[in-house]
């Protein structure tokens, strides 16, 4: 995708990102037609926003989620540190058009994840293995994602446009760091629940994240390398929701409970 078209797309998406507004879609002359073009716009959009990086998110990590928005597989999106909230923060829903929360495992990257990890397998271009990627992880947090889209109809936007728009990234509520026992835990079988006040409203497991959150992280590490990017030390990776996205409204006090790993909480206002 040439630079002029990328810049045109950024000029349309950036104000929507900054003002929490929406557009119908990117103009036909600068609309991405492939995942690669979507990532080119995403990268330029993040640079234009000029915000500090938090890390990455993975969207559409379940078959149901992929079918809902008409994509063929998971999507990677950038996260801004300016939209990372402390546990039990209060957040306005005024400009959030999706109005859902997602309970997610969030990995803290301890060192850069590059191709050199795969070189030992005999090929410089060999895919990174889960063992290699997990060896770069410094810790695990419990978290809540509060996604949003800059498109009026994100369900019909298509995967290339969704990627360009940070894969519906918006706010992250970063909960406590899990005890190191998480490394000996089968995350695919780990139960996660969500409560509204004291009422249980959703349950799920890590298996809803591409079968295992560690599989999701490995997918992301390889996906970024195909686009000339990589996971870097200090970044947080939101790996995708363990429960069906939970609708929220003004006044809701929500808790994502990860059992022995801790809880993440958020409250919503006008």
pLDDT at 63: 87
Percent of the chain with pLDDT over 70: 97
Residue 102's pLDDT band (cuts 50, 70, 90): very high
CA R_g for the chain: 18
Residue 120's pLDDT band (cuts 50, 70, 90): low
The single residue listed with the structure tokens 């998971």 is 74
Domains and CATH numbers, the chain: 52-269 (3.90.850.10)
pLDDT at 125: 73
Kindly tell me if the per-residue pLDDT of 117 is higher than 60.
no
Q: Render pLDDT for 132-180 as a digit per residue (tens, 0 to 9).
A: 999 999 999 999 999 999 999 999 999 999 999 999 999 999 999 999 9
pLDDT at 130: 96
What's the distance, CA 142 to chain centroid? 13
Kindly tell me if the per-residue pLDDT of 128 is higher than 90.
yes
Which residues are paired to 56 by β-bridges? 78, 237
Kindly tell me if the per-residue pLDDT of 121 is higher than 60.
no
Over residues 60-72, the mean pLDDT reads 92
pTM for the model stands at: 0.95
pLDDT at 66: 92
Task: Give which of 106, 104, 100, 28 is closest to 69, Cα–Cα.
Answer: 100
pLDDT at 116: 66
Three-state secondary structure readout of the chain: CCHHHHHHHHHHHHHHHHHCCCECCCCHHHCCCCHHHHHHHHHHHHHHHCCCEEEEEEECCCHHHHHHHCCCCCEEEEEEHHHEEECCEEEECCCCCCCEEEEEEEEEECCCECCHHHHCCCCCCCCCCHHHHHCCEEEEEEEEEECCCCECCHHHCCHHHHHHCHHHCCEEEEEEECCHHHHHCCHHHCEEEEEECCEEEEEEEHHHCCCCHHHHHHHHHHHHHHCCCCECCCCEEEEEECCCCEECCCCCEEEEECHHHCEEEEEEEC
How many other CB atoms sit within 10 Å of the CB of residue 76? 24
Q: How far apart are CA 92 and CA 26, in angstroms?
A: 27
Kindly tell me if the per-residue pLDDT of 119 is higher than 60.
no
pLDDT at 18: 98
Residue-wise over 94-132: b if at least 16 C-beta within 10 A, else e?
eebebbebbbbbbbbbeeebeeebbeeeeeeeeebbeeb
Percent of the chain with pLDDT over 90: 94
Q: How far apart are CA 204 and CA 190, in angstroms?
A: 8
Q: Render pLDDT for 169-218 as a digit per residue (tens, 0 to 9).
A: 999 999 999 999 999 999 999 999 999 999 999 999 999 999 999 999 99
Q: Render pLDDT for 44-59 as a digit per residue (tens, 0 to 9).
A: 999 999 999 999 999 9
What's the distance, CA 183 to chain centroid? 21
Residue 124's pLDDT band (cuts 50, 70, 90): low
Kindly tell me if the per-residue pLDDT of 255 is higher than 90.
yes
Q: Render pLDDT for 206-248 as a digit per residue (tens, 0 to 9).
A: 999 999 999 999 999 999 999 999 999 999 999 999 999 999 9
């Amino acid at each position: 995708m040439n630079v002029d078209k990328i810049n045109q797309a950024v000029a349309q998406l950036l104000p929507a990102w900054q003002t929490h507004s929406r557009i119908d879609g990117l103009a036909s002359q600068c609309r991405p037609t492939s995942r690669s073009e979507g990532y080119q716009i995403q990268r330029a959009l993040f640079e234009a926003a000029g915000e500090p990086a938090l890390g990455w998110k993975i969207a559409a990590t379940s078959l149901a989620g992929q079918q809902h928005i008409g994509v063929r597989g998971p999507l990677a999106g950038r996260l801004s540190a300016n939209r990372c909230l402390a546990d039990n923060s209060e957040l306005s829903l005024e400009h959030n058009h999706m109005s859902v929360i997602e309970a997610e495992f969030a990995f803290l990257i301890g060192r850069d994840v590059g191709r050199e990890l795969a070189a030992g397998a005999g090929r410089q271009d060999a895919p990174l293995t889960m063992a290699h990627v997990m060896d770069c992880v410094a810790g695990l947090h419990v978290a809540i994602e509060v996604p949003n889209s800059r498109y009026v109809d994100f369900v019909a936007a298509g995967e290339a446009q969704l990627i360009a728009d940070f894969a519906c990234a918006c706010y992250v509520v970063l909960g406590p760091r899990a005890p190191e026992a998480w490394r000996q835990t089968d995350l695919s079988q780990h139960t996660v629940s969500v409560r509204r006040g004291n009422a249980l409203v959703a349950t799920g497991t890590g298996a809803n994240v591409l079968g295992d959150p560690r599989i999701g992280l490995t997918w992301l590490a390889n996906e970024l390398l195909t686009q000339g990017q990589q996971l870097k030390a200090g970044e947080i990776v939101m790996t995708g929701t363990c429960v069906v996205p939970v609708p929220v409204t003004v006044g809701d006090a929500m808790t994502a409970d990860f059992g022995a790993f801790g809880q993440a909480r958020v409250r919503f206002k006008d």
